[in-house]
Amino acid sequence: MRGIRWAASWGLQQAPPRARGRQPGQGRRLRFRIRDRFNASDRNKTDNNIDWVAKVFFDLRPDMRVELGAARKTRSPAYQERYLWLPLQATAGLADGKNYVGDVNLDPEVSHQAELGLDWRTSRFYFAPRVFYRDVDDYIQGTPSTDPVVIMISTMNGDPNPLQFSNVDAEIYGADVEFGARKPDRGHG
């Protein structure tokens, strides 16, 4: 059958990020407890992150391709997620007005993903719908803090409901569509 073609791609990455939190300086009396607890913790962390991806492509016809993909992606905690010892609005871009505190014992997120897509392209338009599913172990999410010292300090800073970065399990699924058209070339002259 002319025009039908198989193709595949794959990849592997191993990246051991390392992080070290420094000791914070002196603060007010109430903050001493939280500071001393942070200073006494083991802040040297090494995560062993291994990612992989595999995709298979099948051309149904010259202008239409089916894609099937699977992957494992990991993400180590950001500096604020792991080392923010004082409840502050330093939220790595969340800008939600909440006070957050980190957790030095966070595990990296591990996401197992699957995706199915269609890619239809002509000289005039393109249409590419996709469906995806992600099962994420140790997803890093702000959850209500239960630490009375954190809550007290956060309340003094205007937020009586601080969040602590925590590992939770998550499922993310959905669909998206990319589409567009080219303007016809009307010629200049």
Please report the pLDDT score of residue 6 as a whole number: 73
pLDDT tens column, 19-38: 555 555 433 666 777 777 77
CA pair distance 59, 63, nearest whole angstrom = 8
CA pair distance 4, 127, nearest whole angstrom = 19
Listed by start position, the domains of the chain span 5-180
Whether the pTM exceeds 0.85: the reply is no
User: Could you say which residues of the chain have pLDDT below 70?
Assistant: 1-4, 7, 11, 13-30, 90-95, 187-189
36 vs 31, 99, 137, CA distance in Å? 8, 20, 31
Please report the pLDDT score of residue 132 as a whole number: 97
Q: Locate tokens 């330093």: which residue?
A: 90
Please report the pLDDT score of residue 21 as a whole number: 53
